[in-house]
Amino acid sequence: MNSKYLGQRLRQFRKDARLTQNQLAKKAGITPTYLSIIERGAQLPRLETFINLANILSVSADDLLMEDHAESRKETHTSFAIPSDNLSDEELTLVQDMVKLMCDHFKTTNH
């Protein structure tokens, strides 16, 4: 988890909700200093605090954690979930490598 990115997203959602750091911190039961540390990306929040902040801001955990596709060229596609019940770690790595090779092939052949 990228603490700097999480902090930036948290700050943006706080501003979108028209809350000051003091207001959000009070609602979340944390100090404004701790919220500032989180927003600067200097520290990740505790899980309980993270969930509480997301709930107060009416956003999902994904909203806080997921990078926008425009910001990240390394995007994943959710429909590629691999049923891993019967696969070893080595087999899963092989499947992942095969998918990467196919993606590289498609990029170079424009298919």
**Digit-coded pLDDT (tens) for 25-46:** 999 999 999 999 999 999 999 9
pLDDT in tens, 48-98: 999 999 999 999 888 888 765 444 434 455 555 666 677 787 887 788 778
pLDDT for the residue numbered 74: 47
How far apart are alpha carbons 74 and 33 in whole angstroms? 33
Tokens of 60: 């999902």
Residue ranges of alpha helices (H) inside the chain are 3-16, 21-28, 32-39, 47-57, 61-65, 89-109
The predicted pLDDT at position 83 comes to 67
- The label of the residue with tokens 């028209």 reads 18
- The residue-averaged pLDDT of 1-12 equals 89
pTM for the model: 0.60
